[in-house]
Structure 1
Amino acid sequence: MAGKTIVLTGASDGIGRAAARALRQRGDEVVLVGRSAGKTAALAKELAADHHVADFARLSEVRDLAATLLDRHPAIDVLVNNAGAIMGSRTTTPEGHEATFQINHLAPFLLTTLLLPRLLTAGGTVVTTSSLLNTRARLDLDDLDAVRRYSGSRAYANSKLANILFTRELQRRHGEDGLAAASFHPGVVATNFSGGGDSAARLLYHTPLKRFLLTPEQGADTLVWLATSRPGADWAPGGHYEKRRPSAVHRLADDSGLARRLWERSQALVELA
């Protein structure tokens, strides 16, 4: 049986790189998307895979990426929204959005929306990397860019709850069309995550404590499982998972009204409304 065509963002390092290798070993066609041109090209050469470079801090690059993917790939079976970041100091993107919120939520929202017709044609799956830290969110739809109140950890938690709300609203809107969506928590993984910023997360990811964390391969396991198994049989679409099991979510994750309003605000922010 022919493998799936899987578009994987955040593929040049960490759990993305581990997942790409695991998926390629299965015989799937993995389309790599990374921010680092050198790392992404090196992995693409290793895996004999197509690759693209895009910085999710620039929505123009996300739009260009979507156009290129649609041009090169007549079928897209799975989209894995795995790219992510955490900032310490508040920074803004060229579009004027708080960077953590844009990179972790608005960019994958835009990419998914632009690829949606191709995914629907395939009866495809959308997998989004979230975090257990979604449970610490204090999401304010009137201050999504954290202009009035900012902390790096809160911005990250808010973006991870947004990932789950997006997943559930995507499933509500398009589940009957054959699409399946899921989010997952990879665990606390020994990667270079946060290495380029000034977040306090560096204290965990870039000290000797790192040796106590999960390996990238362990963190990628649930991603690979969701991308390659059977929605509705092996896992429930719309769910949030960790270690291939349902995982804890913020009490607001089940608020369908909030999910709908976040979707509508996100459309407006990326100028898709």
Structure 2
Amino acid sequence: MSFPTFTAKTTATEVAETFAEQIKGKTVLVTGTSINGLGFATARAFAKYAGLVVITGRSSSKLKESEEALQAEFPQANVRPLVLDLASRASVRKAAAEVNAYAEPLHILINNAIAPIGPFVLNEDNLESQFSLDHVSPFLFTKLLAPKLLASTTPNFVPRVIFVSSAGHLRVPGLDWDVLAHPDPAKHDAAVAYCQAKVANVLAAKELTKRSNGKIQSFSLHPGTIATGENPVTVESLIAIGIYTADGKPNLEAPVGWKSRDEGAATTVAAAIDPRLEGKGGAYLVDSVIADDQVSAFASDSANATRLWDLTEELIGEKFTF
């Protein structure tokens, strides 16, 4: 069977339509699905065809808003809300236990939620909040759901885990290992913290595929640059690096390839379901196709992936076994 070649303008809706047969009957869990974000656009693309779409958010009211919007557009869709606050390990464990109790299998996990770019915050686990919410909590959530993911394996399907990263990972030389383990407000730079978390996402996808011996295919990706109504502190950081103008609007002259939310979610949907990616776990996607040539040297180094995995296990105090 031949499928179309995707481009920067391909939408998530189009990708899902292309692979409607592959999506049919699948359970897809997407973290961070507030109505103006990429996660919602991702869930929306899957909702029309999937067996079950699980949407998550910290706030029950915002989660309800997303659920109602999906049900209004796709009355036949099977959408299930799940309260998940990635800032709290207790919430991560509670949400994972809830998913593990579902009668349905879990085929695809999309780690999409991110922390707002902002000032230094030490969270309840004594970790810097950006790194913790963008990497450590998704790592723990994935670990807790791995047995359920593996149980969905069939001769024709290998479960997938997606980490939504960013080209921002190219803006830093690598990870400051000491600061990750021992956060220091004096060394905090909001944009750098975000970019380091995105490096971690790329490395996590590589190492998850490797450690599972390919039994879980994991991918990272750059969705493109999308205006999703960020909070004021995030906008401030984006102004500082020139992606937004001084008046807090998207800088359409910045060479960053602006996309709509539907276009931005396309790469996530492709990573999650495109059968042409089978056996290529660990790859990094841009514009819905593999773009490993756009990964930084640091994030391409398997030794760094191993070191990050080991450090993350130390931080959560648990081994991730298969």
Aligned to 1:136, which of 171, 180, 197?
171
Give the SS at the match of 1:265: helix
CA change 1:32–1:142 in 2 (3 A) is same
Partner of 1:152: 190
Aligned ranges for residues 1-273 of structure 1 at < 5 Å? 2-13=24-35, 14-48=37-71, 49-123=79-153, 124-137=159-172, 138-144=174-180, 146-147=183-184, 149-176=187-214, 178-193=215-230, 195=231, 197=233, 200-201=236-237, 203=239, 204=244, 207-209=248-250, 213-230=258-275, 232-233=277-278, 236-247=280-291, 248-273=294-319
In the alignment, residue 197 of structure 2 is paired with which amino acid? S
Task: Give, in angstroms, the shift of residue 199 of structure 1.
Answer: 5.9
Q: Distance in 2 between matches of 1:226 and 1:73?
A: 25
Task: Give, in angstroms, the shift of residue 196 of structure 1.
Answer: 6.1
Number of paired residues?
270
Task: Give, in angstroms, the shift of residue 116 of structure 1.
Answer: 0.5
Greater Cα radius of gyration, structure 1 or 2: 2
RMSD of aligned Cα (Å): 2.1
Give the SS at the match of 1:200: helix
Deviations 1:143-170 (A, max 9, x none): 2154262211111111000001111000
Runs of 4+ deviating beyond 2 Å: 45-48, 196-213
Check whether the contact 1:86–1:152 (CA below 8 A) recurs between aligned residues. Answer: no
CA change 1:198–1:217 in 2 (3 A) is closer
Deviations 1:215-267 (A, max 9, x none): 1111001111122222644x821101110123311101222122111111101
Give the gaps of 5 or more residues in structure 1. none
In the alignment, residue 40 of structure 2 is paired with which amino acid? R
CA change 1:130–1:198 in 2 (3 A) is closer
> Taking every aligned residue pair, what percent have the same amino acid on both sides?
30
Q: Distance in 2 between matches of 1:231 and 1:146?
A: 41
Q: Distance in 2 between matches of 1:271 and 1:41?
A: 34
Q: Distance in 2 between matches of 1:199 and 1:98?
A: 20
Check whether the contact 1:231–1:237 (CA below 8 A) recurs between aligned residues. Answer: no
Q: Distance in 1 between matches of 2:298 and 2:179?
A: 17
What TM-score results when the alignment is normalised by the length of structure 2?
Answer: 0.78
Deviations 1:191-211 (A, max 9, x none): 023x16456235429833267
